[in-house]
Amino acid sequence: MQHQRGLLRPCGTSDRWLSQLIVLALAVVSCFLLNVQAASAAARAETPLDELRRSFTVGGKPVPPEVFRDLGDGDLADSDSILVTVDVTAAIGSNRYFDDITMANGWVTQIKPARKPPDPVEQTAYMYIGRTENDLLIVIASYSGGGSGVFYTLHILDAVPAKGLNSAGKRYDRLNVIAVRSVPLGDRWDGHAKIDGNAISIETKGRTPDGQDRKSTTRIIRAERP
């Protein structure tokens, strides 16, 4: 009987080792699942580029409308833009674009007050239409230099994260918005635009700036990279 009881001891030891092994395996699996969840959460975290593509904001703040003045809307003498890239991260909160920003009915507006009467009041505004399938950004902007004309432009933009060095030589992040194509829509344009894949459908309503009726038109523009 003693010999038989002795045979039972290794069996008890084996059971304890098995239990410990199961506990250890469960701990490893649990740790692995937590790491997977953390990695998935990190993968889902929205980057500044993601935010810009979603809402045309960075850090919850809208891109200043006056950047479109600098991207060519304020230069009515030239057919193509001369300045084609803006670091929107630096633009937000900058002295260059310090004028107050208002938002209403989907439009983001900036007004530059007259320096002294009778200097004109400059106004720039935009509506963010959205993102195409090929990750280009579509914006309709308007610009008025102070006269009766309000000139509308469809902007097709690209957005590219980049690195730069400040005056002290320290590396910092940029988020460059690049003008790919600008399509004039006309003075006091009235209509709307929508995105279908990589195509932008622009409907112009049937009324001229001076109030005359005309037939509504629809124009399709492809959002393409050069």
pLDDT digits (tens, 9 = 90+) for 161-191: 999 999 999 999 999 999 999 999 999 999 9
179, part of any domain: yes
39: confidence class by pLDDT, cuts 50, 70, 90? very low
pLDDT over threshold 60, residue 5: no
22, part of any domain: no
Helix (H) or strand (E) holding 184: strand 171-187
11, part of any domain: no
Q: What is the DSSP letter of 79?
A: S
201, part of any domain: no
Query: How many domains does the chain fold into?
Result: 1
141, part of any domain: yes
From residue 201, alpha-carbon distances to 53, 98, 198, 219 in Å are 19, 33, 10, 6
Rounded average pLDDT over 85-92:
98
79: confidence class by pLDDT, cuts 50, 70, 90? confident
Question: Which residues, in sequence order, are CB contacts of 216 under 8 Å at separation 6+?
Answer: 191, 203, 204, 205, 206
Q: So what's the pLDDT on residue 115?
A: 81
176, part of any domain: yes
Whole-angstrom distance, CA of residue 145 vs CA of residue 186: 15
Q: So what's the pLDDT on residue 28?
A: 67
40, part of any domain: no
124: confidence class by pLDDT, cuts 50, 70, 90? very high
pLDDT over threshold 80, residue 212: no
175, part of any domain: yes
Domain that holds residue 161: 48-188
Mean pLDDT, the chain, integer: 87
Angle at 225 between CA 223 and CA 226, to 5 degrees: 125
Query: pLDDT tens digits, residue range 46-62?
Result: 999 999 999 999 999 99
pLDDT over threshold 50, residue 36: no
